[in-house]
Amino acid sequence: MKNTLATTTRILEDYKTKESAKHTEKILLEERLKASEVRYRRLFESAKDGILILNFFTGQIVDANPFIVKMIDSPLEEIIGKKLWEIGLFCNKEQSELAFTELKTNGYIRFENMPIQRKNGNITEVEFVSNVYLENDIKVIQCNIRDITERKLTEEALRQNEQLLSKTQKIAHIGSYNYNLTSGEIKWSDEMYNILGLQKDIFKVTIKSFINSVYPDDRSAMENWLELTKHGIDAGELDYRIVKPDGTIRYLLGTGILQNEHNSNAQHIIGSAQDITVRKNIEKELEESEQYLNEQNMKFISLNKQYLALNEKLKDGLNRLQTANADLLIEKIKADESDKLKTAFLSNMSHEIRTPMNAILGFSAFLLQPGLSSEKLKDFVQIINASSLQLMSIISDIIDISKIDAGQINIDIEEVSVNNLMGELFTTYQKIVEPKNLRLYYSCDRPSDLIRVKTDGNRVKQVLCNLLNNAIKFTKVGKIEFGFKLKGNFIEFYVSDTGIGIAPENQSIIFQRFRQVAKSNNEIYGGNGLGLSISKSLVEKLGGTLTVNSALGSGSTFTFTIPYIREEDTVSTTAIPSTSMDDRHWNDKTILIVEDEANNHFYMEEVLSDSHAVLRHAWNGKEAVEEVKEHPEISLVLMDIKMPVMDGYEATQLIKQIRPELPVIAQTAFALSHDKEHSLQAGFDNYIAKPISVDALLEVVGDYLK
C-alpha cells in the first residue's frame, strides 16, 4: 500500500511538475507571442513601405500603417472599411475584383508597376505585393505597397544614359566591351556589333570568334596585347584591322584595362574599339598626297634647277642676241651707209665714166672734120688719149674692188728691181707734174745698191701710182717726194706731198671704200673713193701695211711696207738695161699681127710702123696658122686671144706644132689675171696687157727680135 501511495504520490508529484512546466511554457509562449506582436506592430508602424491588412472574405481594409496613410494622403478612418480600388489602387472595380479573386485563389499576387492615385489626383508608381496568411487561424490578406517613383526615375535616367551612350557610340563609331576573364563571357555594346558587321542575335561572342574576325596579319599583335592587358600591364592602344563578314576590312583602335569585380575575385578587361577606317583612309590619302607633293616638290626643285639653268642659258643667249643685235645694228648702219655710198658711188661712177667718154666721143667726132689744123689735131688726140687712160683706170679700179670682194686678188710673185721700178715711176710722173708747176723728188737711202725683192711688182707699182696720183691731185703748190727705205725685213715706200692735208678725224675713213673726205671732193678733185681702199687691200695681201701721217693744210705722207724677201741666188746684180729706141730697127723682121678688131690692128700697125718691120695681118686664129705655114720668114706673132673662128689659144698650139721656136706673144686684158696665167700655160712666150702702151709693146717685141 505504502508503495502504491508512494507511486501515487510520485505520479501526483510528476503530474504537478508537468502541469507546472506546461503552465510555465504557456506563460512563456504568451509572453513571446505578446513580444512578437509588439515587434510586428512596431515594424508595421515604422515600415518604409505601405502596408494594408484586408479582410480575406470581403477584401475590405482592416488596418493600414502610417506610411500608406501618408502616401495616399487620406486619414486612417477614411481608409478602414474601404476596398483597394476605392483608395486609388487599381484603375477600377473590375480590375480590383479580378486581382482579389486571383489572390484568394493563389494566395499571392504581385504587380511590379502599378499606379496609385492620391486624393489630390497625383499618381504615384508603386510595386504591389499581396499575400494571404493566417492570423489566429483566421485568413487575412497583407498588401505591401512600395513607392517606386525614385527607382523609376533612376531607371529612366539609366535608360536614357544607356540610350545616349549607345547613340554616342554610334556617332563616334566606338564600341565597348566587357570581357570577363574568369567566366570567359564577353559583353559587347550594340555599336561593337555594328563595327564588326555582326548581327547581335545571331553572332555568339567568344574570345575565339572575336580573334577570328581580326585580320590574319594582326592576330598575333592582338593576342599579345590581350596577354599584357590580362596581366595588368598597360599595353596602350592597339591599331588593328578586322575583316567583316562581307569581306571588307576596317581599321580599329582598341583600348582596354584590367578591372577586378567589386566584392569578388572575378577579373574583367573593359575597353573600347573605335572604327578609325575613315581616319586611316584620310591619313593614307594624306600620306599619299604628301608623298605625291614631295615627289612633285622634288620634280619642281629639279625643274626649277633646270629652269634656272635654262634661264642662265636664255640670259646668255639673250646677251649674245643683244650683242648680235647690236652688231647687226652696227652692220645695218654700215650696210645702210655702204648702200648710200654705193648709190653715191654709182652716180660718181656714171659721172666718172661719162666724163672721159664724152671727151673721147666728142673729140673723136671732131677728128673727122675736114681741114682740121695740125695743132688742133694734136690737142684733140691728146685729150682723147688722156680720157682713155682715165677710163681705163676707172675700169681697173672697179675690177680690182670686185676681185677683192670675191677674194680673187692673185699675187704674182716675181723678182722685182725696186730701183728700176722707182726710176720708171720718176720718169713717168715727172712728165705729169711738170705742167702743174710741182716739183717731184725721188729719194732712196741706198742709191748705189741694186735692191731686188720677191713681190708682185705690178701691184706695188699700182699702189705707188695711186698714192702719187692722189698727191698730185691734192697738191696745188710745192713738191711731191717719194722713195723707199729698207727697214729690217721690210721695204718701206712713201709718198709725201705739200697738199691740202687730211684732218685727223678723216684719216681712218679715207681707207674705207667709196669714202672721200668730203662729198664735194669728188666735184672738186674727181675720183671715186676706191683708190686707197684698193691700195690698202693690195698692200695687206702683199704682207704689209698702209698708213697715213697728215695734218690739215700741211700736206700728207702715205707710207706702206712690203716684206723684203730676197732671191738667194740672184742671177744678176746689175740692172738690165731697157731696150733703147735706137735698137728698134727691125727692117729684116716680119711680124704677124693676129687681131679681129680693125681699130686695134690699126693701132698696132701705127706703133710698129717706125720699126720698119714687115707687118702681116690675120683676122682670126685660123688665118694666123695659115700665115705661119705659108710665110716662114715670120719672126714673131702678136696674138689676140678672143677671136671668131679660132681663138688665140688653139691657134698658138697649132703654130707651136709647126714652128716651136717662133715667139708668140699674147695680147691679154691686163685686169684679168687668169688670162695671163692661161696664156703662159697655153704655150705663149710672153704677154702684153691691153690696153697696149707703145713702150710696153716695143720693149716686149724688142726682147724677142734681138
Under the rule (CB under 6 A), what is the footprint of ligand ADP?
Answer: 466, 470-471, 474, 497, 499-500, 502, 510, 516-517, 521, 527-533, 556
Q: What is the DSSP string of 5-44?
A: HHHHHHHHHHHHHHHHHHHHHHHHHHHHHHHHHHHHHHHH
**Minimum distance, C-beta of residue 394 to ligand ADP, in the bound complex (Å):** 9
**Is residue 588 left, alpha or beta, with left meaning phi > 0 and alpha meaning psi from -120 to 50?**
alpha
Closest by CA position to 414, among listed 464, 466, 452, 465: 452
**Minimum distance, C-beta of residue 484 to ligand ADP, in the bound complex (Å):** 18
C-beta neighbour count of 41 within 10 angstroms? 11
Q: How many residues does the chain have?
A: 706
> Which CB, 191 or 481, lies closer to ligand ADP?
481
**Minimum distance, C-beta of residue 417 to ligand ADP, in the bound complex (Å):** 26
**Minimum distance, C-beta of residue 497 to ligand ADP, in the bound complex (Å):** 5
> Which CB, 397 or 623, lies closer to ligand ADP?
397
**Minimum distance, C-beta of residue 546 to ligand ADP, in the bound complex (Å):** 11
What is the grid cell recorded at 456?
A: 708682185
**Minimum distance, C-beta of residue 556 to ligand ADP, in the bound complex (Å):** 4
Q: DSSP secondary-structure letter at 443?
A: E
**Minimum distance, C-beta of residue 486 to ligand ADP, in the bound complex (Å):** 24
**Minimum distance, C-beta of residue 512 to ligand ADP, in the bound complex (Å):** 9
Instruction: Classify 270 as helix, strand or coil.
Output: strand
What is the grid cell recorded at 664?
A: 708668140
> Which CB, 67 or 558, lies closer to ligand ADP?
558
**Minimum distance, C-beta of residue 357 to ligand ADP, in the bound complex (Å):** 18
What pairs with residue 556 in β-bridges? 550
The single residue listed with the C-alpha cell 513571446 is: 32
> Which CB, 24 or 428, lies closer to ligand ADP?
428
> Which CB, 254 or 531, lies closer to ligand ADP?
531
Instruction: Determine whether 338 is exposed, middle or buried from the number of CB atoms within 10 Å of its CB (0-12, 13-18, 19+).
Output: middle
CA distances from 474 to 77, 177, 522, 529, 560 (A): 167, 124, 12, 13, 19
**From the DSSP assignment, how many helices (H) and strands (E) are in the chain?**
19, 22
> Which CB, 260 or 549, lies closer to ligand ADP?
549
> Which CB, 416 or 532, lies closer to ligand ADP?
532
Per DSSP (E only), the strands in 335-421 are 414-417
Q: Is the dihedral of CA 2, 4, 5, 9 positive or negative?
A: positive
Distance from chain centroid for Cα 130: 99
Give the angle subtended at the CA of 297 by the CAs of 292 and 303, to the nearest 5°.
Answer: 125
C-beta neighbour count of 689 within 10 angstroms? 18
User: H or E stretch including 600?
Assistant: helix 598-609
Distance in angstroms (rounded) separating the CA atoms of residues 460 and 424: 13
**Minimum distance, C-beta of residue 551 to ligand ADP, in the bound complex (Å):** 11
Closest by CA position to 690, among listed 655, 624, 639: 639
> Which CB, 510 or 638, lies closer to ligand ADP?
510
User: H or E stretch including 692?
Assistant: none
**Minimum distance, C-beta of residue 354 to ligand ADP, in the bound complex (Å):** 16
- Residue at shortest CB range from ligand ADP: 527
> Which CB, 409 or 532, lies closer to ligand ADP?
532
Longest dimension (CA), the chain: 245
> Which CB, 556 or 561, lies closer to ligand ADP?
556
> Which CB, 531 or 544, lies closer to ligand ADP?
531
